Amino acid sequence: MFSGLSPHKYDTEFNGGTQITRHHKPGKTLAVSAVRERVAALGRSDRALAALRRATVYSVGAKHNEFTIITSIVNPESKPGVTATASPVQELTQKLEATFADVIAVTRKLNFADVKVSPSHVQRLFDDGTIFAITKNSLQELIPHGPNVDVSDYHGGVGVVLRNISPPETVAHLTSRIRQMAQEPDFARLQYRPFKVIPLVYAANATGKGSAPVTAAVVVAVDDNFLYNPDDSGKTALWKQQVAASQWDIVRTALTTSGGLAGVNSFAPQVATEARLNALIAVGISLLLIVAYVWIRFGGIRYGFGVIFSLVHDAIVAVAATVLAVYIHRTAIGHFLLVDNFKINMTMIAAYLTIIGYSVNDTIVIFDRVRENRGRLKLPLTSKLVNDSINQCFGRTIWTTFTVFVVVMILYIWGGQGVHGFAYAILIGVFTGAYSTLAIDSPTLLHAKEAAKRALPAVPDDGQEKANESALAR
């Protein structure tokens, strides 16, 4: 289903590439078209970043202060014995920071005591008091000249002292940077730990406290699944490595990382190919399981054949509509219909699977009515019987389609960029699911019956004649 498509129709999840998120300074906003033009201009001016001319750009939220840029640029696979050159993704981020320097908020690199000590030397940090275990309820009892702040909620956790912070930074910004770093992919393996940044020393020129920058602070955090236990030396050593060292790594990385981009996620082509294959397998398995379910429920393989053709049709039409979007999204019709350059990604796969589920639901209602009209005596399956069953359920089909259409249309227009593509595919599926049940499922059911009839012996004996009548009735 997906193998014949152009690579440009896949998102970074399926084609490999980089997704970049940017936050603007307060009061600095740009229209999506202006951001897209700057990105495309960068691609035209720099041959190494030519892929930016086809980059996808969309706004997150209604304030136009956060944007996501998706491009096919990715770091090449490293090879043994080959010296790595400059990273394309690193060059991309640097050029984007320079391009949007007038509107993005740049994060400064901070220096502080022991900043060069790696997490592997955690014992050294304990020896000089940079890291300590929280064994008291007051911070004043844990560090010299510390404030009388209650830290009982972090008992059994770890404290990280930041001394000589340069340039001074506010507690709010320190907290935001640490929180964001804890959610980055490099630390995703760690369970999120509640933490708090407590000011120790405010900058000399600070006016008041609260929002003033600090030159010293302490970060307290706790992992409820792994608390400090001084009575068990084995667990203490393990706690230092798994809790203290990792917390120092998060804090150190968060405060020494500079840049103006909120997030950079890169997908290697090998991973993307595997994700694409898994998506195709998921669609295939769902189709097979639905056919098996219909076969078992209605007691005949012909019902399964009736379903499979319409479901494949619905999925192919939805994929085709996604591909069509690339040709019309910049035309007058595309602007009028709010069509974007939709990409095939995990969200779209979820939409295709939803379409399959929606379509089969309507089909089962029709097939159930066919079975009821045949009754316990299992009357012959005729065109009139199927047509009567469709007419009896026609009102239900129209009203169900209309109500689903209204809800999805609202989601499509006002749901935001994150679900825009999903709603687009579902809108297509609502229409195809409605007519495919009537125009594909039911005729296929009758065609399968006629094919079975033609396959029976032309001149049956008495015993075989009864068996044939039974087979045709099923």
Second CATH level (architecture) for the domain 269-473: Up-down Bundle (1.20)
Alpha carbon of residue 435 to chain centroid: 31
Give me the sign of the Cα torsion angle 458, 367, 293, 431.
positive
Exposure b/e, 60-93, CB count within 10 A at least 16 = b: beeebbebbbbbbbbeeeeeeeeeeeeebbeebb
Average of pLDDT values for 292-321?
Answer: 84
Q: How far is it, in rounded angstroms, from Cα 136 to Cα 316?
A: 64
Q: What is the pLDDT of residue 159?
A: 95
Separation between Cα atoms, residue 131 and residue 123, nearest integer Å:
9
| CB burial readout 362-399, b (16+ within 10 A) else e | bbbbbbebbbeebeeeeeebeeebbeebbeebeeebee
Check if the beta carbon of residue 359 is closer than 8 Å to that of residue 436. Answer: yes
Enclosing H/E stretch for 450: helix 442-454
- Tell me which DSSP letter residue 166 carries: B
Count of beta carbons in the 10 Å neighbourhood of residue 97: 16
- Tell me the per-residue pLDDT of 33-81, one tens digit each, with 9 for 90 and over: 888 899 999 999 998 899 898 888 877 766 667 788 888 888 776 544 4
Q: State percent of the chain over pLDDT 90.
A: 31
User: Mean pLDDT for the chain?
Assistant: 83
Residue predicted with more confidence, 252 or 299: 252
The answer to whether 29 and 63 have CB atoms below 8 angstroms apart is: yes
Q: What is the pLDDT of residue 232?
A: 84
Q: Within a 13 Å sphere around the CA of 234, how many CA atoms are in the beta-carbon half? A: 0
86 pLDDT band, cuts 50/70/90, is low
Reported as a single tens digit per residue, the pLDDT across 111-148 is: 999 999 999 999 999 998 999 999 999 999 998 888 89
pLDDT tens digits, 378-431? 777 788 888 888 899 888 888 999 999 999 999 999 988 778 999 999 999 999
Give the C-alpha distances (Å, rounded to integers) separating 240 from 51, 151, 183, 393, 399. 45, 19, 21, 67, 63
Is the pLDDT at 443 greater than 60? The verdict is: yes
Report the pLDDT value the prediction gives residue 376, as an integer from 0 to 100: 60
In the predicted model, what is the mean pLDDT of residues 18-29? 78
d(CA 228, CA 237): 10
Chain centre distance of CA 421: 13
Banded pLDDT at 471 (limits 50, 70, 90):
very low
Nearest one of 238, 220, 216, 218 to 228, comparing CA atoms: 238
Q: How do strand 158-162 and strand 169-170 relate by DSSP bridges?
A: unpaired
Distance separating alpha carbons of residues 289 and 272, to the nearest angstrom: 26
Say how many C-beta atoms besides its own lie within 10 A of residue 276's C-beta: 21
Q: Please report where in the chains the tokens 């809108």 appear, as a residue.
A: 427
Average pLDDT over residues 262-277: 78
Res 175: pLDDT? 92
The span from the CA of 395 to the CA of 347, in Å, is 32
d(CA 219, CA 333): 55
Specify the pLDDT at position 466.
47
Task: Give CA 462 to chain center in angstroms.
Answer: 63
Q: Are 351 and 426 in contact (CB under 8 A)?
A: yes
* pLDDT per residue as tens digits for the range 166-222: 989 999 889 988 988 887 767 767 778 899 999 999 888 766 666 789 999 999 999
113: Cβ contacts below 8 Å, ≥ 6 apart: 130, 162, 163, 164
Query: Could you tell me which residues come within 8 angstroms of residue 413 by beta carbon, excluding any fewer than 6 positions away?
Result: 338
Tokens 């690579």 sit on residue = 7
> Alpha-carbon distance 408 to 122, whole Å?
54
Cα end-to-end distance, the chain, whole Å: 33
CB 354 within 8 A of CB 426: yes
